[in-house]
Structure 1
Amino acid sequence: MKKNAVIPAAGLLLINLLVSASACTDRYPPGAEVPLERTLWVLEEFGDPGKINSPISGTRITIRFDPDGNRVGGSGGCNTYGGGYVLSGQHGLDVKEIIQTEIACGGGINAQEAAYFNILLAVTSFDLEHRRLTLSGPQGILVFEP
């Protein structure tokens, strides 16, 4: 089954607007606990645990988990995306059926985005500690902050 598909930009824009509709409420005071769901998370680091990368300067990669319908969405740094997710056990996470716009971006941004989606679609677990969300799987890790 193919997990990644391209859809028309208008449909994905609608998904992204629904997922990020309450992004303005995603601010938490220092020291406050930050929930996994309904928080706009911004990517800080990604890659193989032995070779961690920072996102390319000027790009902003985000993810937001919406428990209403188990929808996930955000920005890959150039393209917007949406899909589904399933939580299992205490730290299990499966991101499913990601759809994204297909805008060409230069300066290595499309390669960075491909690496991000490769890791995201292979995520098997999450850890939320000290206001940092780490998504992990066999392809690497994604580390986010609110």
Structure 2
Amino acid sequence: MRFSNVVVFAAMVVLVSVAGCAARRSGVKVSSAESGLIGPRWQLVELNGKPVPATVNGKMPYLEFSEEGNRYGSTGGCNGVGGEYELSENNGIKFGKGMSTMMYCDDMSIENGLKQLFEQVDSYRIAEGSLTLSKGKGAALAKFVALKDQSAGMAGTWELDYVMEPGVSFESLYADRKPTINFDTSTKKVNGNSSCNNFSGTFSLDGNDIHFGPLMSTKMGCPGNGEQVFFKNLEKVNHVDVQEDVLTMIMGDIVVMRWKRK
């Protein structure tokens, strides 16, 4: 073999080797723990350039990631959708086709939009507590905000303006007096009024997960079912979200109580 041919052959070997390495690098999987996706529950706030309400069919639309099994879970306000996801270099992400429950709800638009989103998305970006999902270098397909430790925003007194009780209006339950609740985040103590009796107790907070300790209340007789509905729903709460002057209490992904700051 002539020297010139040897040089050409060697150069081709090098090019093929580099191309092969590049191809292998592009398929490198990225640790979920290092991605920034794990930890918070991500509330959906924008989909296809349009704002998403805080609740759809009484549920908060969200997306969350688990490092175990590289699984994701979500809801668009009706059914729960979950499956596997895969990360790659340069903030690449791919959602596997997920399993879903089969309920029908009045508003399916956000849920259907999320399903289409998971089929299209191939990249993500996290900045200042926000998660953006996109396709290629195009415009954002969806935006989410992280629900983190809510303690700083919870402190103070709140007045109830929504409670989950199908078939009964809020106004009829609390025609004379609306329930109030006050959080002392430094001592993790809570007190308030159920619309009739005063109550007090403790609470624990981990991120946006909240649990109330035993609550004690006075024993005055109360007309109507307002107090019973209040305590029944308060016992269900396991998540909380504070956005400026609105505090939302959630059971799983269902909004059960909403409060306004007094």
Aligned-partner Cα distance in 2 for 1:83–1:37: 15
Aligned length: 107
Contact 2:70 2:84 in 1 (8 A): yes
Contact 2:95 2:121 in 1 (8 A): yes
Aligned-partner Cα distance in 1 for 2:117–2:98: 12
**Which residue does 1:70 correspond to in 2?**
70
Q: Deviations over 1:76-113 (max 9, x none)?
A: 2111111000000030000002111111111xx21221
Superposition TM-score, scaled by structure 1 size? 0.67
Aligned-partner Cα distance in 2 for 1:104–1:91: 34
Gaps of 5+ in 2: 1-34, 147-262
Superposition TM-score, scaled by structure 2 size? 0.38
Aligned-partner Cα distance in 2 for 1:58–1:42: 10
Counterpart secondary structure, 2:121: coil
Q: 1:137 aligns with which of 108, 112, 135?
A: 135
Q: 2:120 matched to 1:119? A: no
Where does 1:8-27 land on structure 2 (aligned, <5 Å)? none
Q: Assess, with a 3 A threshold, how the Cα gap between structure 1 residues 38 and 57 changes in structure 2: closer, same or farther.
A: closer
Task: Pick the structure with greater CA Rg.
Answer: 2
Contact 1:120 1:142 in 2 (8 A): no
Contact 2:54 2:61 in 1 (8 A): no
Gaps of 5+ in 1: 1-33
Where does 1:1-146 land on structure 2 (aligned, <5 Å)? 35-47=36-48, 52-56=49-53, 58-59=55-56, 60-106=60-106, 109-137=107-135, 141-146=141-146
Cα root mean square deviation, aligned? 2.0
Contact 1:92 1:124 in 2 (8 A): yes
Query: Percent same amino acid at aligned positions?
Result: 27
